[in-house]
Amino acid sequence: MPDDTSARGPWVVGVKTVHIGRLTVEVTYPAAAGSEAGKQETTYDVRDWLPKNPTQASNFTPIMDSESPAVKPVGGKLFRDLPLDETHGPYPVIIFMHGTASFRIASGTIQTLWASRGFVVLAADYPGLMLADQLCSAGCGCQASGMADYPGDFKAQVDALKAPSGEVAFLMGHVDTNHIGFSGHSVGGCTVAASAGTQGASVIIPLNSTAPTAASTGLKSTMYISGMADTVFAYKTGLSLGNAVCPMAQNAVNDGYNASAGPPDVKKRLVGVTDGGHLTPTDLCQKNAEGNNAITVLHNHHYCGVDAVAIVGLPTLFDCGANGFDWQVGVKDVGYASTAAFEETLQCRDRTAAFANIKTANPTIGDFQEAK
């Protein structure tokens, strides 16, 4: 296993799309060595997460293939439906939750990184929170996928892992449900902070969110990671725009960290990415061949609801950072810090050096705090 926790691990990575109750879930996992031979890398089209048959303005024009290129994790090397590596394990589990107006593969790069280093990662589309749901609720004349029930959705996934059957039967006997990590972005981060009492939850990593993590039986570690230029959830000072929809929100990310459970029972850390914006943990800031990001494309085609989502509109939520921040560097920083924390607790690896060198190894990490 590389000591650089932002580097891919020794496993080739497989992915399966499964259904757990009402949830569509992307399961990313360590695959059998060599099983990717002759396979094409998996890619995604963001248009698949737009509403079906919304009411459109008279000046709406369809989005062409060239404007919505195939999306894949940084570095690629993700392959669909490979066999699980059954010669190792059981593998600890990470359950990931996306943010408002997003979808299950929005943070595909870090999900793939985690899987390459020996984790089974579940990332669902959360009804009520997805991009299509938010656009439909903004008056686009289409039907949302369902009401939000995040605690119920988490429980459904944990229960499915404890007794895998159907589409997740391939995990039977190969996952460790006594050691689970939760991570989420934005509202997803606020939600996982409130899930600390979930049975098996050992590590909680909220990304770009301000809600504190309470002490609970079994919780060993928590880490807050955020872009320091986030305009939705403030990093150090000021009220956060996103707190209107964040349960138990504090004023800023730093406040949520300070109010969270800490030593001696819980290791507690805070990581700030210099110039990183609200979307720092995601792959959403990439641009197409014409140099346009997804929101610009939707605007150019006069797509319904873009300016009305979550009251403030998608452009406000689409914060990629300041001063020309490189989104790929941000994803690397988040991957380094989160992987070190997950491996420390869920795999019992000594990551003392990774944390001691975090700012040297990642010059764009401008703040690192560890409670003593």
Domains observed in the chain:
12-58+71-283+322-370 (3.40.50.1820)
Whether pLDDT at 232 is above 70: yes
pLDDT value of residue 282: 96
The amino acid that residue 153 corresponds to is: D
Residue 270 · residue 254 · CB < 8 Å: yes
Section 58-86 average pLDDT:
90
Residue written as tokens 């039986």? 217
Section 264-283 average pLDDT:
97
Mean pLDDT, the chain, whole residue set: 93
What's the pTM? 0.96
Highest-confidence segment of 16-25, 61-70, 140-149: 16-25
DSSP-derived letter for residue 251 is S
Residue (of 186, 268, 239, 6) closest to 112 by Cα position? 6
Residue (of 236, 111, 242) closest to 189 by Cα position? 242
Whether pLDDT at 312 is above 80: no
Measured distance CA(28)–CA(169) in Å, rounded: 14
pLDDT digits (tens, 9 = 90+) for 74-102: 999 999 999 999 999 999 999 999 999 99
Q: In the structure, what pLDDT confidence band is assigned to residue 69 with cuts at 50, 70 and 90?
A: low
pLDDT value of residue 314: 80
Section 5-31 average pLDDT:
98
Section 6-13 average pLDDT:
98
Q: In the structure, what pLDDT confidence band is assigned to residue 287 with cuts at 50, 70 and 90?
A: confident
Measured distance CA(7)–CA(116) in Å, rounded: 9
Measured distance CA(182)–CA(171) in Å, rounded: 18
